[in-house]
């Protein structure tokens, strides 16, 4: 559900590596079970600043002014100044090159941030601040939204049943509310009902739902204000999923915590953890993207690795077998970024090509069909892509 760019902590979610013990095998097979493939969709930005979307559109989350689903890649409007995008379950948020913030889709919990309760099938501008620097990063959760401004402040709105906004309450907000007084936030990742963020000093913070230990503070107690996780000051990238969290440190190591039912940690177990556990011994992970029950990562050498639930081919290894250890996908060494949806995966290569795989019931792969794929296939060949984000409702 989150976007990812391996060059930064979250500008749009993450990617990464594992120990030699796991690196060259097929990956441990874990117990059966399939997650509901849900209703997936994808939104992307071209190198020319154009905005594109496809897949499920029952709540207008594609932004094309309709609620009609699309199996083919569809341009949204004619503007050429889109910079970044993040997809939730049924709402989408994006930033333009002028640092203005826009949102569209479902709005039952105020997740659009426009002060209303009705949704929008077209992008609507959220808030102001343009004369004070504007917005620089946004992350959409299941029904809440987290953002950073250029001044390093943190803002939130939408559903807050578990304290996932971090404002010290469990009150839902339909307009942006500032979280704390700090001005040193570097990145933020909104999971389903929890939030993880980094500060510029390399410290890690978490809040919201903690049922499976996904906050990483050693408890299963929900938090409605940011709580520091551990004492480390070298956290580099973070990706919050539905019930688990993945992160990398500055030394290239990979870490996981929360729910591990499908082996989505990649530690060769299905054991839940309430504190960060290191995955393997390698030190060349460059990022990670965590989905509802599977994880996709890229190494510094540009190779692509996946693990976790694979009931719909979302790992891309030409099977539907779950894996609890990272398995390399193909032999390409030019993967740049990836984003994980409910049961589909999208990724970019350094040449700007877009690749997709997994469940395609709602056309979320954008290849003009509803046929699922269990290996990466290229789509949108006529466009060079800059950013892509996979979302959807379980």
pLDDT in tens, 38-83: 899 999 999 999 999 999 999 999 999 999 999 999 999 999 999 9
Place of tokens 């500008």: 11
Task: Tell me which DSSP letter residue 29 carries.
Answer: B
Q: List the single range of 36-40, 58-62, 115-119, 275-279 with lowest mean pLDDT.
A: 36-40
Give the helix, strand, coil percentages of the chain, each rounded to 5.
Answer: 0, 45, 55
Contact 365, 357 (CB under 8 A): yes
pLDDT in tens, 213-240: 999 999 999 999 999 999 999 999 999 9
Mean pLDDT of 125-153: 90
pLDDT in tens, 356-393: 999 999 999 999 999 999 999 999 999 999 999 999 99
- Residue 170: burial class (beta carbons within 10 Å; 0-12, 13-18, 19+): middle
The DSSP secondary structure of 319-363, one letter per residue, reads: S---EEEEEE-SS---EEEEEE-SSEEEEEETTS-EEEEE--TTS
- The domains found in the chain, sorted by start residue, are 20-393 (2.130.10.30)
CA dihedral for 108, 113, 117, 122, sign (positive or negative)? negative
Q: Angle at the Cα of 10 (from 162 to 319), degrees rounded to 5?
A: 90
* pLDDT tops 60 at residue 1: no
- % of the chain surpassing 70 pLDDT: 90
Tokens of 218: 């050693």
Distance CA 194, CA 245 (A): 10
Number of H helices, E strands in the chain: 1, 28
How high does pLDDT run on average in the chain?
A: 91
* pLDDT tops 90 at residue 145: yes
pLDDT in tens, 317-350: 999 999 999 999 999 999 999 999 999 999 999 9
Mean pLDDT of 177-196: 98
Greatest distance between any 2 Cα atoms in the chain: 54
**pLDDT class for 127, splitting at 50, 70, 90?**
confident
Q: How far is CA 257 from the centre of its chain?
A: 16
3-state secondary structure of 237: strand
């Amino acid at each position: 559900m989150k976007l990812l760019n391996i060059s930064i902590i979250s500008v749009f979610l993450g990617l990464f590596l594992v120990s030699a013990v796991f690196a060259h095998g097929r990956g441990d097979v874990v117990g059966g079970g399939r997650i509901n493939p849900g209703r997936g969709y994808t939104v992307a930005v071209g190198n020319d600043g154009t905005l594109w979307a496809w897949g499920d559109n029952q709540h207008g989350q594609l932004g094309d002014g309709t609620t009609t689903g699309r199996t083919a890649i569809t341009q949204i409007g004619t503007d050429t100044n889109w910079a970044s995008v993040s997809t939730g379950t049924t709402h989408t948020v994006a930033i333009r090159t002028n640092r203005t913030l826009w949102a569209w889709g479902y709005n039952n919990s105020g997740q659009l941030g426009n002060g209303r309760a009705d949704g929008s099938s077209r992008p609507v501008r959220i808030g102001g601040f343009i004369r004070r620097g504007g917005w620089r990063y946004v992350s959409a959760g299941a029904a809440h939204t987290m953002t950073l401004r250029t001044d390093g402040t943190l803002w939130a709105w939408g559903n807050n049943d578990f304290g996932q906004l971090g404002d010290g309450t469990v009150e839902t907000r339909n307009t942006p509310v500032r979280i704390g007084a700090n001005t040193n936030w570097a990145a933020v990742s909104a999971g389903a009902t929890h939030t993880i963020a980094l500060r510029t000093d390399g410290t890690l913070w978490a809040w919201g739902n903690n049922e499976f230990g996904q906050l990483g503070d050693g408890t299963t107690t929900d938090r409605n204000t940011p709580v520091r996780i551990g004492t480390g000051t070298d956290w580099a990238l973070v990706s919050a999923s539905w019930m688990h969290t993945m992160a990398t440190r500055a030394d290239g190591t990979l870490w996981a915590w929360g729910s591990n039912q499908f082996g989505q940690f990649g530690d060769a177990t299905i054991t839940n953890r309430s504190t960060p556990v290191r995955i393997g011994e390698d030190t060349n992970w460059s990022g990670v993207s965590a989905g509802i029950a599977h994880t996709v990562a890229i190494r510094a050498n540009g190779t692509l690795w996946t693990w976790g639930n694979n009931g719909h081919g979302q790992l891309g290894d030409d099977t539907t077998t779950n894996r609890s250890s990272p398995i390399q996908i193909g032999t390409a060494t030019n993967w740049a970024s990836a984003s994980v949806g409910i049961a589909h995966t999208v990724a970019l290569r350094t040449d700007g090509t877009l690749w997709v795989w997994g469940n395609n019931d709602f056309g979320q792969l954008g290849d003009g069909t509803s046929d699922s794929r269990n290996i990466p296939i290229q789509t949108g060949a006529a466009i060079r892509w800059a950013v892509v984000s996979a979302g959807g409702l379980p």
